[in-house]
């Protein structure tokens, strides 16, 4: 009999990972030793600053942190954690993309941490987690249980080059986030003015490409009211008119600014595997891009003289509400770890005010801890993205999140290259994801999912 656990395990893991079978026993260690897998080498120095501060507060306690830079895989790859947990090599605490938490929890790869909160904080889980942005907590909640604590977050907006807009005679007040929110009609008209071609019809400059950068289907879905799952009906809703609108947006844009020509443009000015300094934005060929606060450090490092600024994502009509979506990392406890006070103290410190106050200014993105936000412990250049947080949300916390993500990405590609229509892809998306989600009959996302978060100013 196929269960939801066996199905998702088979879908996500490689044959090698699956051959390990049930979770192997964890290598024994003292309760005072916390095995932590943290950020990658590029950010290891930032990680160690937080760890150093934690060690200073616990001097003489005997707690030892065994640190390794083993960042978790991307949003659609679960083979790493499956191999580690079932092979008995997983750490006690792992820094992991929040988007993976629900799916990992649904197949038994993570430990719920509610018991640690109730035991060591003398608090309910709901009360304790009010210290963090709600959508980040929702993204770590599965079947009514909490499976981690959130660290950083971000949001999505439009980055634009003032030089290029000014040269094309564009009114810069349109892009001033304090004065105006662009509509899709406006951004398309601006893109027309900014796009130029050579004598052979190839793009020399481009205004905007909605499938570039952070222009994922989810990005525009949040602005067009498209939902992947309905708690009310406990059903997948990928064949809705709103989802058709998302893919019609891509199709309409690719018709006016053909994908093949845009692809040749990026192959010329931003080829695959090019160094981070070589982008179509930095060479002043692309005027606008969908991105987030994670771009700020790159801009400062590789193009400090360019007037690159940020504004809101485009809306359907004047006066529509702003929107965005936010991702980020978390600390989770892989299955089989010893649920000790020392482990808990480290998680609480790292993800709480003390840890985030150290880490977030170094990373350049945004905290999820509300006290840290209120104290302003983040890059001031990311202020607009902080203003986006009240109307931002996470991707839907579903046990088939990776399947849905991959399905939407394939559909976007099909539409922009013209191999399928919006009507065809939404029907196929529903047929692809709904049967897999049906294995979780009656599943409910957190009741707070999709609601505006209270963010201190």
- Spatial distance between the Cα atoms of 135 and 396, rounded to a whole number of angstroms: 10
pLDDT at 28 (0 to 100)? 47
Query: Which of 215, 197, 224, 234 has its CA nearest to residue 412?
Result: 215
Phi and psi at 334, nearest 5°, equal: -60, 150
- Spatial distance between the Cα atoms of 414 and 422, rounded to a whole number of angstroms: 9
Residues 6+ apart with CB under 8 A from 106: 4, 5, 8, 142, 143, 399, 440
Q: Pairing relation of β-strands 152-153 and 196-197?
A: unpaired
pLDDT at 143 (0 to 100)? 95
Counting every residue, how long is the chain?
A: 457
CA-based R_g, the chain, Å: 23
Query: What structural domains and CATH numbers belong to the chain?
Result: 4-154+327-393 (3.40.190.10), 157-209+257-325 (3.40.190.10)
pLDDT at 76 (0 to 100)? 57
pLDDT at 6 (0 to 100)? 42
45-76 burial, b at 16+ Cβ within 10 Å, e below that, comes to ebbbebbebbeeebeeeebebebebbbbeebb
- Spatial distance between the Cα atoms of 92 and 343, rounded to a whole number of angstroms: 7
Query: Which of 105, 93, 92, 100 has its CA nearest to residue 144?
Result: 105
- Spatial distance between the Cα atoms of 326 and 222, rounded to a whole number of angstroms: 11
Cα–Cα distances (Å) from 318 to 50, 52, 183, 324, in that order, read 44, 49, 6, 17
Phi and psi at 227, nearest 5°, equal: -115, 145
| Three-state secondary-structure class, residue 312 | coil
Q: pTM for the full model?
A: 0.91
pLDDT at 449 (0 to 100)? 96
Cα–Cα distances (Å) from 306 to 71, 281, 284, 334, in that order, read 32, 9, 9, 44
Q: 133 exposed, middle or buried (CB, 10 Å; 0-12, 13-18, 19+)?
A: buried
Which contacts of 274-281 are long-range, i.e. CB under 8 A and separated by 24 or more positions? 276/302, 277/302, 277/303, 280/206, 281/159, 281/161, 281/306, 281/308
pLDDT at 31 (0 to 100)? 77
pLDDT at 77 (0 to 100)? 61
Six-digit token string for 37: 């897998």
Residues 6+ apart with CB under 8 A from 452: 390, 391
Q: Which residues of the chain carry a pLDDT beneath 70?
A: 1-30, 60, 71-78
Alpha-carbon torsion (105, 110, 115, 121), positive or negative: negative
153-184 burial, b at 16+ Cβ within 10 Å, e below that, comes to bbbbbbbbbeebbeebebeeebbebeeebbbb
pLDDT at 194 (0 to 100)? 97
Please tell me what DSSP assigns to residue 235: E
CB 99 within 8 A of CB 75: yes
In the block, residue with structure tokens 């294995």: 439
């Amino acid at each position: 009999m196929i269960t939801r656990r066996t199905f998702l395990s088979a879908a996500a893991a490689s044959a090698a990972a699956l051959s390990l079978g049930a979770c192997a026993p964890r290598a024994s260690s003292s309760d005072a030793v916390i095995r932590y897998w943290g950020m990658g080498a590029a950010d290891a120095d930032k990680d160690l600053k937080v760890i150093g501060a934690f060690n200073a507060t616990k001097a003489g306690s005997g707690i030892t942190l065994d640190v390794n830079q083993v960042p978790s895989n991307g949003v659609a790859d679960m083979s790493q954690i499956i191999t580690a947990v079932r092979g008995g090599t997983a750490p006690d605490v792992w820094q992991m993309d929040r988007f993976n938490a629900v799916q990992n929890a649904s197949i038994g790869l993570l430990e719920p941490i509610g018991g640690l909160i109730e035991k060591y904080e003398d608090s309910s889980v709901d009360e304790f987690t009010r210290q963090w942005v709600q959508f980040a907590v929702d993204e770590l909640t599965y079947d009514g249980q909490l499976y981690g604590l959130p660290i950083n977050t971000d949001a999505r907006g439009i980055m634009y080059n003032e030089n290029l807009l000014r040269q094309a005679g564009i009114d810069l007040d349109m892009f001033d986030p304090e004065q105006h929110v662009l509509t899709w009609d406006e951004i398309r008209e601006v893109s027309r003015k900014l796009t130029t071609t050579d004598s052979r019809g190839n793009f020399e400059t481009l205004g905007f490409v909605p499938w570039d950068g952070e222009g994922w289907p989810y990005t525009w879905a949040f602005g067009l009211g498209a939902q992947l799952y309905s708690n009310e009906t406990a059903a997948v809703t990928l064949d809705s008119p709103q989802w058709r609108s998302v893919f019609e947006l891509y199709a309409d844009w690719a018709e006016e600014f053909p994908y093949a020509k845009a692809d040749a443009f990026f192959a010329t000015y931003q080829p695959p595997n090019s160094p981070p300094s070589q982008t179509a934005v930095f060479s002043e060929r692309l005027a606008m891009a969908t991105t987030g606060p994670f771009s700020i450090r790159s801009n400062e490092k590789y193009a400090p003289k360019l007037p690159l600024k940020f504004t809101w994502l485009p809306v359907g009509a004047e006066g529509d509400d702003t929107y965005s979506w936010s991702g980020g990392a978390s600390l989770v406890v892989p299955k089989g770890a010893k649920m000790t006070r020392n482990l808990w103290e480290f998680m609480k410190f790292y993800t709480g005010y003390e840890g985030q106050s150290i880490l977030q200014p170094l990373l350049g993105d945004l905290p999820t801890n509300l006290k840290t936000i209120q104290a302003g412990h983040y890059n001031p250049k990311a202020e607009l993205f902080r203003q986006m947080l009240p109307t931002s949300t996470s991707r839907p916390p579903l046990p088939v999140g990776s399947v849905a993500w991959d399905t939407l990405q394939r559909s976007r590609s099909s539409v922009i290259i013209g191999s399928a229509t919006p009507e065809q892809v939404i029907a196929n998306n529903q047929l692809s994801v709904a049967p897999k989600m049906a294995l979780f009959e009656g599943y409910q996302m957190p009741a707070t999912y999709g609601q505006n978060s209270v963010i201190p100013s």
